[in-house]
Amino acid sequence: MKNKYLFGGIIIVVFIGLMGYLVTQSSIKYENNINKIKTENKTVKATGQWVREKDYNYDLKSRMFTFYMKDEQGNQMKVVYNGAIPNNFKSAQSLVVSGKYQNGYFKANSILTKCPSKYEGQKIQSSGI
Amino acid sequence: MKPYALFKKDYHSELRTRYAINSLVMFIIVALSVILFSIGNEKIPQNLTAGLLWVVIFFSAMSGLSRAFVSEEERGTSLILHLIAAPTTIFSGKLLFNLILVFLMNIIITILYSVLFEEFIIRNFLLFFLTFILSNIGLAIASTIIAAIISKAGAKGTLYPVLSFPILLPLILISVMLTSYSMVGTSFADAVIELAVLACYDVIMLTISYMLFDFIWKD
């Protein structure tokens, strides 16, 4: 009878450990190298900036929002997002798009915009005492 | 007494009263038609469709599956079960019955859902099939052990969904995720981790249930 609880306890501990390990594996990783995104073909959260020189495009009929994104090294990729343009897309300092690179473009499921905060503390004037 | 004999007894008494089957079918029809009326002609996004499917499944399970032990308690037959069979056998029999009930319920829900909602298109069928089987097994195990826990309590109807929610939460979260994956058409390799988590959940629930049922039942 005691063996049953020992055995069961071991099974539970092992599988909870396995579950915890798998949960940490499944979280989508951030990636800021666009060349890597293009080759690896995995679902990632790509960070980068909107290429202002190439204009964005919003197709009203298919509700497709297309723009170009670049990383710090200057590599570029086309991003396609099925949905509305995020509110402060134009003023965003950097973007986080999650999705997958396929068929020559990055298909985004969501776009996060990082904006210049209006709550940044103003520089306190030193009174020079 | 074998688990199968207990299952047969439950099966016959269920066919006579049709309590669980009726409440399940009624709930499925009501829930689906409410969703259908409220959506109307609007197109809803895919992840919302997957979520709504699991809302229907969760609450249907809550309405029917608690019968497994509550019915024994209400008819006063639990003492006889104590006498004629070991706790493990009783749990296996009840689990078998709930498994059949859950599979029946979810097959009906999925078929109705895919007929009624045109947005509900499965692109990766194998992934959906595996998700369906693993999550149904998990749902059956969890609902059986919770039914055993609440069968001795006073307010059974309210206690059941309240107690089930935290235990079923991981299952439902992963199942919603996997369902929307299979609707989008994610490749099998991308979703294998979530499937493994689901399988782990099933194994853990099964082990815990068999370990704890002795204490619940002897009370």
pLDDT digits (tens, 9 = 90+) for A27-48: 677 777 777 777 777 778 888 8
Please enumerate, as own/partner, the contacts of A52-60 that have beta carbons within 8 Å and a separation of 24 or more: A56/A85, A56/A89, A58/A85
**pLDDT value at position B141?**
94
CB contact under 8 Å between A12 and B201, yes or no, is no
Q: Distance between CA B21 and CA B53 in Å, rounded? A: 19
Per-residue pLDDT band at A121 (split at 50, 70, 90): low
Residue B183, H or E segment: helix B156-184
**pLDDT value at position A54?**
77
Contacts A13 to B, Cβ<8 Å: none
A11 in a structural domain: no
How many separate domains does chain B show? 1
Structure tokens at B50: 């997957």
A12 in a structural domain: no
Chain B contact for A103, CB < 8 A?
A: no
pTM: 0.76
**pLDDT value at position B105?**
92
CB contact under 8 Å between A26 and B197, yes or no, is yes
Chain B contact for A6, CB < 8 A?
A: no
Mean pLDDT computed over every residue of chain A: 78
Place of tokens 């949960």: A23
CB contact under 8 Å between A5 and B211, yes or no, is yes
Contacts A42 to B, Cβ<8 Å: 190
Chain A contact for B5, CB < 8 A?
A: no
By residue count, chain A amounts to: 129
CB contact under 8 Å between A19 and B211, yes or no, is no
A78-87 per-position pLDDT tens digit: 888 887 787 7
How many angstroms separate the Cα of B65 from the Cα of each of A7, A91, B83, B185?
Answer: 29, 53, 24, 32
A68 in a structural domain: yes
Closest C-alpha to B126, from B72, B78, B178, B171: B178
Per-residue pLDDT band at B139 (split at 50, 70, 90): very high
SS3 at position A67: strand
Q: Distance between CA B172 and CA B165 in Å, rounded? A: 9
Q: Distance between CA B169 and CA B184 in Å, rounded? A: 23
CATH at A47: 2.40.50.140
Q: Distance between CA A81 and CA A96 in Å, rounded? A: 12
Per-residue pLDDT band at A26 (split at 50, 70, 90): low
A21 in a structural domain: no
Which residues have CB under 8 Å from B145's CB, separation 6+? B91, B205, B208, B209, B212, B213, B216
CB contact under 8 Å between B201 and A5, yes or no, is no
Q: Nearest chain A residue to B207 by CA: give it.
A: A8
CB contact under 8 Å between A8 and B193, yes or no, is no
Question: Could you tell me the residue range of the domain that residue B112 belongs to?
Answer: 3-218
Question: Could you tell me the residue range of the domain that residue A101 belongs to?
Answer: 28-114
Which candidate from B190, B194, B203 shows the least CB-CB separation from A15? B203
B76-116 per-position pLDDT tens digit: 888 888 888 888 899 999 999 999 999 999 999 999 988 88
**pLDDT value at position B169?**
92
**pLDDT value at position B203?**
93
Contacts B196 to A, Cβ<8 Å: 18, 22
On the question of pLDDT at A109 being above 60, the answer is yes
Q: Distance between CA A2 and CA A8 in Å, rounded? A: 10
Chain A contact for B202, CB < 8 A?
A: no
Which residues have CB under 8 Å from A77's CB, separation 6+? A34, A37, A38, A46, A68, A69, A70, A101, A105, A106
Phi, psi of B43 (to 5 degrees): -95, 125
SS3 at position B76: coil
A67 - beta bridge partners? A79
Query: What stretches of A61-126 show up as alpha helix (H) in DSSP?
Result: none
Residue B140 CA, distance from chain mean position = 5
Structure tokens at B53: 């499917």
A129 in a structural domain: no
Which residues have CB under 8 Å from A98's CB, separation 6+? A28, A43, A44, A45, A46, A108, A109, A110, A112
Q: What is the mean pLDDT of residues B29-58?
A: 86
A&B contacts, CB < 8 Å: 37
A62 in a structural domain: yes
Q: What is the mean pLDDT of residues B129-155?
A: 90
How many separate domains does chain A show? 1
Which candidate from B186, B200, B211 shows the least CB-CB separation from A22? B200
